Amino acid sequence: MSDLNDIAVFVKVAQFESFSRAAHALAMPVSTVSRKVTALEERLGVTLLHRTTRKLSLTAQGRAYFDQCSEPLNDLFDAERVLTNTQKKPEGLLKISVPVILGQEPFYEFLSSFLKTYPRIQVDLFVTNLFLDLIAENVDVAIRFGELQDSTLVAQRLGRSVRYLVATPEYLRDRLPPSRPEDLGQHQCVLLQARNNEAEWHLISGRRSIKLRVSGPVAAHDVEAVSAFTYRGHGIGFLPSTYCDAQIARGELIRLLPEWSEIFVHAVYPTRRFLPSKLQVFLDELKAWHSPLWTPLRDRTQQNSAKVNKASVRS
């Protein structure tokens, strides 16, 4: 099969009826243009151009070949131009997956403001506690709390969020409560997004962090299910505060290791190569948004810097 670049060069020469003008339009040396047309003729086994010192013209075979090639090439260039413009301009359909806890008025207000800022972007929003397969479902970006299961995804850290380690009095009745994170390995845990009923919990306390392997009798792909089995005494759950504040107040749940109560929040997407403009601007706006559900990492850095500066002033 002929080289598409050689065909494109031939079409340009035929349009201009000149090697030099085609070379100027293509930003190539004249010798390169001539060589590519010659290579195409040799590959096809026909003469496409009559060459004289005064004039360049198409042969009968060259005219027939040009007529067949020029329109498909224009269609191809148009398709490439559309894709390039789509990449550069923030427009098109953006598919977003967020957990149910985020599907509240503050996020809807953020998304509304984003759509008003970028009116050429349309949004298809999935509000679900299921960890969708972004590639299979053709989802552009997901916001995820806690440990990340799929290492093939690109992750941008957005901030930290509060999660509680909790268990029922019934579960703790004949067990010693954990006094340090490592003790969780000796307990039954109710797991989210586990594999073979094992999972990795990433716990954060200030500047300290620890990753632990935990296991348990129940694993689910939904926070609602994890909270339901935690409420029923099947083990220690790692839940958003909104899922257990009322139960703690009523004595139905006991909070454990309260100093280890933070997790990271990430925006995840399938690839960092050729990031569409619509996704890039969404990520930029998301990182700048002051969400009530997480503390931006830069805020935490600024707070730590302020503490250091105050300590320096006092000393």
166-178, pLDDT tens digit by residue? Answer: 999 999 999 999 9
CA distance 20 to 58: 16
Dihedral sign, Cα of residue 11, residue 14, residue 15, residue 17 = positive
Last residue of a domain, one of 36, 63, 88: 88
Last residue of a domain, one of 88, 110, 135: 88
Question: Of 276, 36, 255, 287, nearest to 167 (Cα)?
Answer: 255
Pairing of strands 154-167, 262-269: antiparallel
Written as one string, the DSSP assignment of 4-48 is HHHHHHHHHHHHHT-HHHHHHHHT--HHHHHHHHHHHHHHHTS--
Question: Of 287, 127, 299, nearest to 223 (Cα)?
Answer: 127
Evaluate whether 239 touches 163 at the Cβ level (below 8 Å).
yes
Residue in this structure with the two tokens 């003008």, named with its chain if needed = 21
45, 120: one domain: no
9, 68: one domain: yes
240, 127: one domain: yes
Q: How far is Cα of residue 65 from the mean position of the Cα atoms in its chain?
A: 45
Structural domain that includes position 115: 92-300
Q: For 113-163, write each residue's pLDDT tens digit.
A: 999 999 999 999 999 878 888 888 899 999 998 777 666 789 999 998 888
* Cβ count within 10 A of residue 294: 22
pLDDT at 54: 77
Percent of the chain with pLDDT over 70: 88
Does residue 313 lie in a domain region? no
Q: For 258-294, write each residue's pLDDT tens digit.
A: 999 888 899 999 876 768 889 999 999 999 998 888 8
Does residue 309 lie in a domain region? no
110, 136: one domain: yes
Which amino acid would we find at residue 230? Answer: T
pLDDT at 178: 96
Record the tokens describing residue 152, joined without a space.
């093939």
Q: For 3-12, write each residue's pLDDT tens digit.
A: 788 888 888 8
Q: For 240-255, write each residue's pLDDT tens digit.
A: 888 899 999 999 999 9
